[in-house]
Amino acid sequence: MTFLTAALYKFVELPDFAELQAPLLACCESHGVKGTLLLASEGINGTIAGLPEGVHAVLAYLRADPRLAALEHKEAWAEHLPFYRMKVRLKREIVTMGVPEVHPALMAGQYVRPQDWNQLIADPNVVLIDTRNDYEVSIGTFKGAINPATHSFSELPGWVEQEMAEGGKLAATDGKKPRVAMFCTGGIRCEKSTALMRSKGFDEVYHLEGGILKYLETVPQAQSSWQGECFVFDERVAVGHGLAAGHYTLCRSCRDPLSAQDRQSPLYELGVSCAHCHGRTTEEQKNGYRERQRQVELAEARQQAHIGVRQPGST
């Protein structure tokens, strides 16, 4: 296990976020670190990977900014570098919800430690909500969790409004709103989700500190309420208890996670399509994907990088 992966985020006021982009990218590249970092006025979010000394150097650089001194991160190890390039992007939000009045740095719900999570979600009066997207939930979630079946995080506010209506899962009983527990992969989406809930008058709102990844790292499998694997946004695709690599691969066309059974489908073609997306792409597009896959295989046979190689004159 040669390469260290660090997932990080922090909601904090960064009015000068655009000025941080270039020096941060230069720091990452000088230390051989790859991945994606997002900067916005509300904070920083992303995942980076590289040799341990390089990743720790970038983390130290970030924490040298007093506003990011308390930045936390989660570590995992991989045999292969899980990213092909380094990107530092400027965004309106570090995780897009599209509700400007929600400020997680000021309004987020109450953290619950992974070791206390099971007790909370075992309470039948707690509404447990998975804030991730449907394709993520499909490969693993907590027992008894509600799946809002969203395709993007920005759909969650609409789902909340719908479920607050009479007869919905978030409807008030005798004028009292239910207790709500929310979770996501690393903590960032549930932190923003609980801020949304508080903005709508929910007083007892909780979220899993460190997200699913911290839970899988901390809670022994024998005591776990987690079922399945956890989708991650890098080449590992999914992880299990102890953050061990999972059993899923990624469709290079639609980016959905694929199980061994999915890969047995007659509609699955490596690098080209799967049963989820086969009918959504044209034959011309598939031929383009086939050529891309051919180039990837040629590069691998030559032990050369293909994806992410910066070409002369590119930026």
Q: What is the pLDDT of residues 75-106, one digit of tens each?
A: 888 888 888 899 999 999 999 999 988 988 88
Question: Is 233 part of any domain?
Answer: no
Domain count along the chain: 3
Q: What's the start-to-end Cα distance of the chain, in Å?
A: 31
Determine if residue 23 is left, alpha or beta; phi over 0 gives left, psi from -120 to 50 gives alpha, anything else beta.
alpha
Average pLDDT over residues 237-247: 88
Of the residues 221, 256, 284, the one at which a domain ends:
221
Of the residues 43, 58, 90, the one at which a domain ends:
90
Same domain, 261 and 286: yes
**Whole-number average pLDDT of the chain:** 91
Structural domain that includes position 178: 104-221
Exposed/middle/buried for 289, CB within 10 Å: 0-12, 13-18, 19+? Answer: middle
What share of the chain has pLDDT > 70, as a percent? Answer: 96
Same domain, 111 and 217: yes
Residue 174, token pair as written in the block: 């005798």
pTM attached to this predicted model: 0.81
Catalytic residues: 184
Average pLDDT over residues 206-217: 93
Task: Indicate whether 306 pLDDT > 70.
Answer: no
Same domain, 85 and 12: yes
- Distance, C-alpha 300 to centroid of its chain: 28
Residue 101, token pair as written in the block: 């009045």
Nearest CA to 10 out of 57, 47, 43 is that of 43
Q: How confident is the model at residue 305 (pLDDT cuts 50, 70, 90)?
A: low
Average pLDDT over residues 130-151: 96
Other beta carbons less than 10 A from residue 184's beta carbon: 24
Nearest CA to 6 out of 43, 45, 41 is that of 45
Task: Indicate whether 59 pLDDT > 80.
Answer: yes
| Confidence at residue 84, expressed as pLDDT on a 0 to 100 scale | 86
Return the CATH number at 72: 3.30.70.100
| Confidence at residue 307, expressed as pLDDT on a 0 to 100 scale | 54
Question: Is 304 part of any domain?
Answer: yes
Same domain, 133 and 197: yes
Same domain, 84 and 116: no
Query: What sign does the dihedral 124-130-136-142 (CA atoms) show?
Result: negative
Residue 220, token pair as written in the block: 């022994």
Same domain, 78 and 173: no
Contacts of 227 (CB under 8 A, 6+ apart): 140, 141, 142, 143
